[in-house]
Structure 1
Amino acid sequence: MRTKDASSLAHPPDTDSGFAGTLKNIQLNDLIQMCCLSASSICMRVTKDNRIGTIFILDGEIVHAACEDIVGEEAFYRILGWQTGSFESLEVGTIPQRTIQKNYHFLVMEAARRVDEKTQFKSDQSLSVPYPSEDTAGNWIRVLIVDDSPVMRKILSSMLTAGNRVKVVGMAGNGKEAISMIDDLRPDLVTLDVNMPVMDGISTIKHIMIKKPCPVVIMSNPGYGSSKTIFNFFELGAVDFINKPTKDQDIFFQQQKIFERIRVAATAEVGNFRIARIPKAKTGNPDGKSVDRACRRLVIVISGPGGHPEQVSLLSGLVPALGDEDGAVVALQSLPPSFSDAFARYLFDRCGIQASPIDQEMSLSAGQCYVGIHGCPLAVRMNDQRPVIAPDAPEKGLVQVDRLLVTAASVFEQRLAVILLSGANTGEQSGLRVVHENGGRIILRMRASGMVAEPLDQVVEAGLADEEVNPADLIKTVLNGFDLKH
C-alpha cells in the first residue's frame, strides 16, 4: 500500500509537507488502529481494483465511511474486507455528517470477525473455540505474566494460582516475547512490568491495544520520580496498577489484594476504552491572581480500575465549571499513597486545573481540586466557618471511603454530589446511604459505556443511584442538581 499527503500537491517540493513513501505488508486495520490510538484526524482513500472507499477518522474516532453505494458501518466493514489494495492519506477538509457511532475497537474487531467467517473452512471451526471447556466452566481467569525477573514471575504465578480462579497460561521476560505468545494463549488479562529489556512496557501495551486488545494491569514498584510514567499507561488503555509484592509486608494480605484487583480488572470491557479528550487548558483569572473563596458546594469524584481516562476528562471541565458556582472537587483514585502528589501535578500539567494532594488539613476553596487515595482516611469538617478536608484516623466500623462520604454529607448536606466512575470502590455503602439521608446525590457514569461496571452494578442493586447519565452530560447533571441561587 502507498501513502501520500494530498497537501503535498499544492506546495513546492522544498516545502515541509510531510513524508511520501511506501508501506509494504501492512494491514489496513493495523494502520487504522494506530491512527485512532494517536488521536489523529485523517481521511483514508482505499482502492481495490476499480472500487474506491473512504474512511474518515476525527480525533481518533472513526466517524464516517463510504464505499460504492453504501455509507456508515457497513461501508467500513466492506472496505476492511479487502485484503489487498492501496491507500492514500488525505487531509481532513470538510467534515462529513457522522454515520458511525461505535468505538474503533468494536469496529475493527467486528470487521476481523466478518473476514474470518468468509475465509475459514468448516474444518477449522473447532479452532474458534476460545478455551478448553474446563476453564470456562470454572470461570477461570487466564493470565499472562510479563516481567523480566524470573524470580518475580515465579512469585506472582504462585500467588495468583494459590486459589482456584486464576490460571497462569504463560510467562514472558519482555514485551516482544509476550506479543508473540498472545495469539496462541489468548489470555483474559496481562500483568505487565514497566521496565524490561528488548521491549519495555509502554511499547508492549501499544502493541497489545492495537493488535489484541485485552485487560492489562501494570505491576511495578516505581520510585517517586517515575510514578507519573504510570499515567501514560492509563492513557494507552491500562486498566489498573498494582504494586509488586514485597517481603516487608504480610504476604497473605498482599495475595488477597492482588487477586481481588486482578479479578475486577479481568471484567474490563477494553472495547469501551477511550483516549482522554482534554480541551485546551484555561489560563485562569485574567489578572493571574487566585481568588480564595470558601466552597459552598462539593463534588466527590470516585474512580477505580478502568476509570482513569474518564476521571481526567471529567475533571478538566468539572473543576472550572464548579469554580464559577463556588464549588470544589475531591478526586479519589485507587492508587498507592505515594502517587497522590504525582497525580496532582499530572492533573495540572495535563488539564491546567489547580490540584493539591490532601497531605494535611486544607481549606476547601472554590475552583480547586483535591486529590485523595483509596485506603488513606480522609474527613471533611468545619473549621472557623470554613469547610476543610484533612487526613484522619480510621473510625471503627467505617472503611476509609465511607468515612469521607459520611463527614462530607454532614457538612454539605444537599450541596454534595458524588460521581461514581468505572471501577469506583464505594466501601460498604454506608457512606452512600448517609449522603442520601442528608439530601446529597449519587450520580453514576453510564455503565454500558465504561470499562469496569461491576462495582457500579452493586450500587444500582442496592437502590443507591439517583441518576445514571452519559459521560457528556455529567457536568450539566451535577450543576442542574444544585440550587445555584443560594
Structure 2
Amino acid sequence: MTTKVLVIDDSAVMRKLLTELINSNPDLEVVGAAPDAHVAREMIKTLNPDVLTLDVQMPRMDGLEFLERLMRLRPTRVVMVSAFTEAGSDTTLRALELGAIDFIGKPRVDSPAAMTEYAEELADKLRGAAAARLKRVVPAAATATRPAVPVSSAKTSGNGNLIFVGASTGGTEAIKDFLLGFPADCPPTLIVQHMPENFTASFAKRLDSLCAPRVIEAQGGERLEPGTVYVAPGHSHLQIRRQGGGYITELLATPPVNRHRPSVDVLFDSAAELIGKQAVGVILTGMGKDGAQGLLRMRQAGARTFGQDEASCVVYGMPREAALVGAVEEVSSLENMSRRVLASAARVVA
C-alpha cells in the first residue's frame, strides 16, 4: 500500500527536492506540494494525504500556527522539516508537543553521501509516521509550569540503583510524561532519545523546566547522583563508567549502532556489564529495534526491565522488538510506567 504525502514548504527548490527524494521510494508518493499553509489546507481536503511534511518557517501562517489549527480541527500525521539550529530545535520541540509525529532537518545539497543518507532517513520517518497512532494533544497551558513534586521515599534513591531509558519516535513527549511522575530525589536516570545534536540540549532544558528532578544534557564525566536525569547528547553514545565508589557518564564518538548515535543499545550494554541487578531498564515508543538486544542483556544480568504497551505508543516498534526477543519483564502503559519503574527501583537490592 502506497503512503500519500503532501509536501508543505515555501521554497520551490525544497518542494522539488523533497518530492524527488520521496518519490524515489515505491511505497511513498507525493500527491501534492503546497507553498504555504493556506494552499495546504485546501489540498488536504481534496487529496486526503496520509502524512504531511511541514516547514516551520512559512509566509502568511507559520508552521506552528498551522499545526496547532490542524491538530485541533483535523488531526493528521505530520513530520516537521526544521533547520538544525537552537531556535529551530526549540520550535521543533514545540511542534512535537502540539502533535507532530517526528522531525527531520533540511537536506544538505553539498554532499551526495549526506543526501543519500538523508533520503533514507526521510523515507523511514515518513513510514514511521504513517504507522503512528495519532495522540490527543494536551492544551499548552496544561504543561506550561513545573508540577508539584511527587511524594517520594528515601527508598527510591538511597540504595544505589539506576534507571536506564531508551526511546525514539514519539519519545520526546513520552519521556516528558514519564519524568513528570518522578520525585525530586529519584534514582540517577540516564536517557537516550534518538535526536540530532543541536536538539538534545533544548530537550533537556525543556524537561528540566517541567519536571521535579534536575535534567541535564550529559557532557561526560558527571558523577551519577540521585535527583538528576542525564540526557545523551545527539553527537555521542552515552554509557557509564566506574569511578571510585560510584559511576560517571562517559561519551563515545564511535560509529553509529543500529544506525543511531546515540544508541540505546550502547547505554543498556554498559548497564548490563557494570550495574546488573541494580539497574532498571525501560524502553519506550520508537521505530526500529535499537535497544532490544541491550535490554535483553540487562535482563540476563539481573536487571528489572519494562516495555511500553502498544496502546500508549506512538510507534510500537522498539518495545515490540524488545518483547519479541524476551527482553521485557513487564509491559506497562505510559500512564503507569513511572510508578511501576520507581516501585521496582525501590525493590532493587545489591
Offset, 1:416: 1.4
* Alignment match, 1:281: 147
Call closer, same or farther: CA 1:242–1:171 in 2, change over 3 Å. Answer: same
* Alignment match, 1:158: 20
1:348 paired with 2:211, answer: no
Call closer, same or farther: CA 1:409–1:374 in 2, change over 3 Å. Answer: farther
Distance in 1, matches of 2:137 and 2:287, equals 16
Q: Which runs of 5+ in 2 are unaligned?
A: 151-156
Offset, 1:329: 1.1
Local SS of the residue matching 1:154: helix
Distance in 1, matches of 2:25 and 2:337, equals 40
Distance in 1, matches of 2:312 and 2:218, equals 30
* Alignment match, 2:280: 417
For 1:171-222, what per-residue CA distance to the aligned partner results, in whole angstroms no more than 9, with x for missing partners?
A: 1111111111111111110010101001110111112112221111101114
Q: Which has the greater radius of gyration?
A: 1
CA contact (8 A) 2:296 2:322 kept: no
**Counterpart pick for 1:306 among 163, 167, 170:** 170
CA contact (8 A) 2:264 2:294 kept: yes
Call closer, same or farther: CA 1:476–1:162 in 2, change over 3 Å. Answer: same
Offset, 1:351: 2.7
Alignment RMSD, CA only? Answer: 2.5
* Alignment match, 1:370: 230
Distance in 1, matches of 2:335 and 2:6, equals 35
1:252 paired with 2:79, answer: no
Local SS of the residue matching 1:363: coil
Distance in 2, matches of 1:265 and 1:196, equals 22
CA contact (8 A) 1:328 1:367 kept: yes
Offset, 1:374: 6.0
Offset, 1:255: 0.8
**Counterpart pick for 1:267 among 119, 125, 131:** 131
* Alignment match, 2:296: 433
Call closer, same or farther: CA 1:307–1:201 in 2, change over 3 Å. Answer: same
* Alignment match, 1:82: none
Offset, 1:395: 7.2
Local SS of the residue matching 2:94: helix
Offset, 1:274: 5.1
Moved more, 229-238 or 342-351: 342-351
CA contact (8 A) 1:441 1:466 kept: yes
CA contact (8 A) 1:272 1:450 kept: no
Distance in 2, matches of 1:415 and 1:361, equals 21
Call closer, same or farther: CA 1:374–1:311 in 2, change over 3 Å. Answer: same
Local SS of the residue matching 1:301: strand
1:6-85 matches, cutoff 5 A: none
**Counterpart pick for 2:317 among 448, 454, 476:** 454
Distance in 2, matches of 1:149 and 1:463, equals 47
* Alignment match, 1:360: 220
For 1:374-412, what per-residue CA distance to the aligned partner results, in whole angstroms no more than 9, with x for missing partners?
A: 663122110122211121142798763222111122222
Distance in 1, matches of 2:166 and 2:332, equals 15
CA contact (8 A) 1:355 1:369 kept: yes
CA contact (8 A) 1:281 1:353 kept: no
For 1:68-121, what per-residue CA distance to the aligned partner results, in whole angstroms no more than 9, with x for missing partners?
A: xxxxxxxxxxxxxxxxxxxxxxxxxxxxxxxxxxxxxxxxxxxxxxxxxxxxxx
Distance in 2, matches of 1:171 and 1:405, equals 42
1:16-415 matches, cutoff 5 A: 139-249=1-111, 250=113, 251-271=115-135, 278=143, 280-282=146-148, 296-318=160-182, 320=184, 323-324=185-186, 327-373=187-233, 376-394=236-254, 400-415=263-278
Distance in 2, matches of 1:160 and 1:270, equals 22
CA contact (8 A) 2:198 2:234 kept: no
Offset, 1:256: 0.9
Offset, 1:308: 2.0
* Alignment match, 2:153: none
Normalising by structure 2, what TM-score? 0.88
Runs of 4+ in 1 over 6 A off after TM superposition: 395-399
Moved more, 272-281 or 192-201: 272-281
Q: Which runs of 5+ in 1 are unaligned?
A: 1-138, 285-292
> Percent of aligned pairs with the same residue?
26
Call closer, same or farther: CA 1:406–1:453 in 2, change over 3 Å. Answer: same
Call closer, same or farther: CA 1:188–1:302 in 2, change over 3 Å. Answer: same
CA contact (8 A) 1:269 1:450 kept: yes
CA contact (8 A) 1:356 1:371 kept: yes
Call closer, same or farther: CA 1:392–1:429 in 2, change over 3 Å. Answer: same
Distance in 2, matches of 1:311 and 1:473, equals 13
CA contact (8 A) 2:201 2:233 kept: no
Count of residue pairs the alignment pairs up: 336
Normalising by structure 1, what TM-score? 0.64
